[in-house]
Amino acid sequence: MAAEQPTPVMAGADQSRIHDIGYRGYDGPRLGRAYARRSLYSQSLRGSYGLGRSAKSKVLPMLLFAVMCVPAAIMVAVAVATKAHELPVHYTRYAIIMQAVISLFLASQAPQSVSRDLRFKTVPLYFSRPIETADYARAKFAALASALFLLTGVPLLVLYVGALLAKMGFAHQTKEFAQGLVSVALLSLLFAGLGLVIAAVTPRRGFGIAAVIAVMTISYGAVSTLQAIADTQGSSGAVPWIGLFSPVTLIDGVQSAFLGGSSAFPGGVGPSTGEGVVYAVVVLGLIAACYGLLVRRYRKVGL
């Protein structure tokens, strides 16, 4: 209401006098919870790629993003040059092949997203504002899942555009592209959930990074080793059930059962439709559980 009215500044007065300028109130709109949640979402999503942060923190996510896209671009170039009728890799397989890159991205960005707020105790500043703990958890979850979706979806888009340029069958390619997108969407949600739950336990970023990498790679290594052993021992019936215990094989199972993907399981045989249902239920259950745990975690943090 009050206009700015600068009071004269005494010459030679010490610095602390200068800010003695009239105060202006704020009568504009206050956009409330939903807006705050959206703002937190976009800030966190941008932050996942280092935007709005220091130049140093842009290096790793941007590099990983490039690493994800370059193979797709090469495949497309080869396919166009050789006038191939099929892409060398299925859309649904791409993310599985590049899983190490995705895990690295997750390991670096999940702690960045949540551990910092815990470590520097910024969380109370959020919760002393209109947003609630669930809003915070939802915004962070959605932001990291979106970041992962960009990371995994953009290479698919490159493949799709390339396939169309190479004049491959439009209907066929579109269907497979759509299946690929559904697959990476599930992967993004699952990975984001797991990464955030692990990272939100500890305010230490380094520990968070190590824990995420450990969970992702050790579980995958253990599961694929066990699957290989089970396969050579002739008990291939156990292979799909073992696959339930690592995030990557879970997604692999879901997509080979429902999304027309070819499995990376030993022998190339994914779960049957019945087993696939179990996979889908486990994936969705894990995503929901991660969200629940995250909300619970922040309810405790409070002020």
Partner 1 sequence: MVRITTVVPVTVIATESLSKRFPRVTALDRLSVDIGPGVTGLVGANGAGKSTLIKILLGLSPATEGRAEVLGLDVATKGAAIRERVGYMPEHDCLPPDVSATEFVVHMARMSGLPPAAARERTADTLRHVGLYEERYRPIGGYSTGMKQRVKLAQALVHDPKLVFLDEPTNGLDPVGRDEMLGLIRRVHTDFGISVLVTSHLLGELERTCDHVVVVDGGKLLRSSSTTDFTQNTTTLAIEVTDSDTHPDGTRAVREALRARGLDTHAEAGGLPGAGHILLLTATGDETYDLVRDVVADLGLGLVRMEQRRHHISEVFTSSDEQRKEAVGHGG
Q: Which residues bind partner 1 (CB under 8 A)?
A: 1-2, 5, 15-16, 18-19, 21-26, 28-33, 35-36, 39-40, 43, 52-54, 57, 116-117, 120-122, 124-132, 302-303
CB of 40 to partner 1, least distance (A): 7
In the complex with partner 1, the residue whose CB is nearer, 19 or 83, is: 19
In the complex with partner 1, the residue whose CB is nearer, 142 or 166, is: 142
In the complex with partner 1, the residue whose CB is nearer, 93 or 138, is: 138
CB of 130 to partner 1, least distance (A): 5
| HEC-encoded secondary structure of the chain | CCCCCECCCCCCCCHHHCCCECCCCCCCCCCHHHHHHHHHHHHHHHHHCCCCCCHHHHHHHHHHHHHHHHHHHHHHHHHHHHCCCCCCCCHHHHHHHCHHHHHHHHHHHHHHHHHHHHHCCCHHHHHCCCCCHHHHHHHHHHHHHHHHHHHHHHHHHHHHHHHHHCCCCHHHHHHHHHHHHHHHHHHHHHHHHHHHHHHHHCCCHHHHHHHHHHHHHHHHHHHHHHHHHHHHCCCHHHHHHHHHHCHHHHHHHHHHHHCCCCCCCHHHCCCCHHHHHHHHHHHHHHHHHHHHHHHHHHHHHCC
CB of 151 to partner 1, least distance (A): 23
CB of 52 to partner 1, least distance (A): 7
In the complex with partner 1, the residue whose CB is nearer, 43 or 219, is: 43
CB of 174 to partner 1, least distance (A): 37
In the complex with partner 1, the residue whose CB is nearer, 24 or 85, is: 24
